[in-house]
């Protein structure tokens, strides 16, 4: 069966593509993209790099890797919590804002694992000393040091120990060592930056979200930020003077008052990565994804698949594979193949392939 886009919501989806710099990109560096987006979900590392690359035409996979290696952008646990890319200058204030809620979420699991505050303090001290003087070490190497000190570090405990070190502002990602991820000391890797008061941080997070993800609702912002609804509402209220609102189907959408649509009649098609902000950052995704297609796009355990988006509407899913020196892309479309423009699809594949060419 063919499902058409809801015409009342069609402009919501188009405006989101523009505000997220998927269409009409105009930012000039990877760091500026990260700062504009506020936080970009990055639990699937390979796809997350493409999420930045597609918003900066001409960028290569190696360019994103280099930005990560030099600390221009940071990959760490924030917000809901999950892995995110953030601009280096935003890391400290975002950590200060989201760490209390993340620690509260993790508290019961930590107790079940026998991880209390005294153990975390010992772990943090050992990790900090081990990483001194510019060391970039893998999780396994750090866990080895903890084991020497008599601290048990099975896989689950190791993940929670490192997440707490992140939340305490001790570590962030270091440079990659081949295909291995490393950790480094935040204070050695990132210059000092401002820490906002909690009300100001909530307001700044709301400002970032509604400028880059609008049109969006209060519930969208609350879902994306992981904040309690009381705090999310305070954030929206703080930035409300800079926004305008529109009500559709009893939902109130907020938008920067200075937004100017860059109209075009030309059709568009994009290969969006797994967990792309275009879908993952909204509680209600009906502007771009039909409810009957949710089960094909988002698994029951919350895995967001890569999607084919034509004219702001999700038409299918895709996956990539590397064959010698060539990138291959396979698709599963929700409608008959004729619904997707073959020429636009080929252009999108070429853009994606170009991300990996040198």
pLDDT for the residue numbered 337: 53
Q: What is the pLDDT of residues 73-120, one digit of tens each?
A: 999 999 998 999 999 999 999 999 999 999 999 999 999 999 999 999
**pLDDT over threshold 80, residue 2:** no
Residue with tokens 């909530």: 202
Structure tokens belonging to residue 35: 């700062």
pLDDT for the residue numbered 1: 37
pLDDT for the residue numbered 336: 53
In percent, how much of the chain has pLDDT > 90?
A: 82
**pLDDT over threshold 50, residue 211:** yes
Q: What is the mean pLDDT of residues 39-63?
A: 95
Q: What is the mean pLDDT of residues 11-29?
A: 94
pLDDT for the residue numbered 5: 52
pLDDT for the residue numbered 97: 96
pLDDT for the residue numbered 346: 94
pLDDT-based confidence at residue 6 (cuts at 50, 70, 90): low
Q: What is the pLDDT of residues 218-239, one digit of tens each?
A: 999 999 999 999 999 999 999 9
> End-to-end alpha-carbon separation of the chain, Å?
41
Q: What is the pLDDT of residues 31-50, one digit of tens each?
A: 999 999 999 999 999 999 99
pLDDT for the residue numbered 244: 96
**pLDDT over threshold 60, residue 26:** yes
**pLDDT over threshold 70, residue 338:** no
Average pLDDT of the chain to the nearest whole number? 93
- Measured from the Cβ of residue 324, the count of other Cβ atoms closer than 10 Å reads 5
The contacts of residue 228 (CB under 8 Å, 6+ apart) are: 101, 222
Of residues 4 and 292, more confidence is placed in 292
* Residue 40 · residue 48 · CB < 8 Å: yes
pLDDT for the residue numbered 270: 96
Alpha carbons 122 and 118: distance in angstroms, whole number: 6
pLDDT for the residue numbered 349: 94
Of residues 193 and 92, more confidence is placed in 92
* Residue 75 · residue 30 · CB < 8 Å: no
Domains, the chain, ordered by start = 30-189 (1.10.10.10), 264-355 (no CATH)
pLDDT for the residue numbered 358: 62
Q: What is the pLDDT of residues 134-161, one digit of tens each?
A: 999 999 999 999 999 999 998 799 999 9
How many Å separate Cα 245 from the centre of its chain? 25
pLDDT-based confidence at residue 170 (cuts at 50, 70, 90): very high
**pLDDT over threshold 90, residue 257:** yes
Alpha carbons 42 and 65: distance in angstroms, whole number: 13
pLDDT for the residue numbered 193: 81
Q: What is the mean pLDDT of residues 277-305?
A: 92
């Amino acid at each position: 069966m063919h499902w058409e886009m809801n015409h009342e919501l069609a402009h919501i989806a188009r405006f989101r593509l523009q505000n997220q710099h998927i269409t009409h990109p105009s930012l000039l560096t990877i760091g500026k993209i990260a700062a504009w987006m506020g936080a970009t979900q990055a639990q699937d590392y390979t796809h997350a790099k493409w999420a930045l690359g597609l918003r900066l035409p001409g960028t290569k996979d190696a360019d994103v890797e280099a930005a990560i290696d030099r600390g221009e952008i940071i990959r760490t646990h924030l917000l809901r919590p999950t892995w995110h890319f953030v601009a280096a200058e935003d890391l400290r204030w975002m950590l200060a804002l989201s760490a209390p809620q993340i620690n509260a979420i993790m508290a019961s699991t930590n107790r079940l694992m026998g991880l209390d505050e005294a153990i975390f303090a010992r772990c943090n001290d050992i990790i900090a000393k081990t990483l001194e003087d510019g060391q970039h070490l893998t999780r396994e190497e750090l866990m080895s040091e903890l084991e020497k000190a008599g601290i048990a570090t099975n896989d689950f405990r190791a993940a929670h120990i490192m997440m707490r070190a992140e939340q305490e502002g001790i570590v962030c990602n270091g440079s990659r060592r081949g295909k291995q991820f490393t950790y480094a000391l935040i204070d050695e890797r990132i210059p000092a930056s401002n820490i906002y008061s909690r009300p100001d941080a909530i307001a700044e997070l709301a400002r970032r979200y509604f400028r880059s993800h609008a049109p969006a609702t209060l519930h969208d912002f609350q879902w994306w930020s992981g904040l309690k609804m009381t705090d999310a509402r305070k954030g929206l209220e703080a930035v409300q003077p800079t926004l305008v609102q529109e009500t559709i189907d009893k939902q109130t959408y907020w938008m920067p008052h200075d937004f100017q649509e860059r109209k075009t009649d030309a059709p568009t098609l994009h290969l969006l990565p797994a967990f792309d902000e275009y879908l993952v950052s909204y509680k209600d995704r009906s502007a771009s994804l039909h409810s009957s297609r949710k089960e094909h796009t988002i698994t029951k355990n919350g895995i967001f698949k890569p999607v084919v988006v034509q004219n702001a509407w999700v038409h299918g899913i895709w996956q990539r594979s590397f064959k010698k020196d060539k990138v291959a892309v396979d698709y599963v479309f929700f409608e008959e193949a004729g619904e997707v423009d073959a020429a636009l699809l080929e252009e999108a594949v070429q853009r994606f392939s170009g991300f990996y060419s040198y």
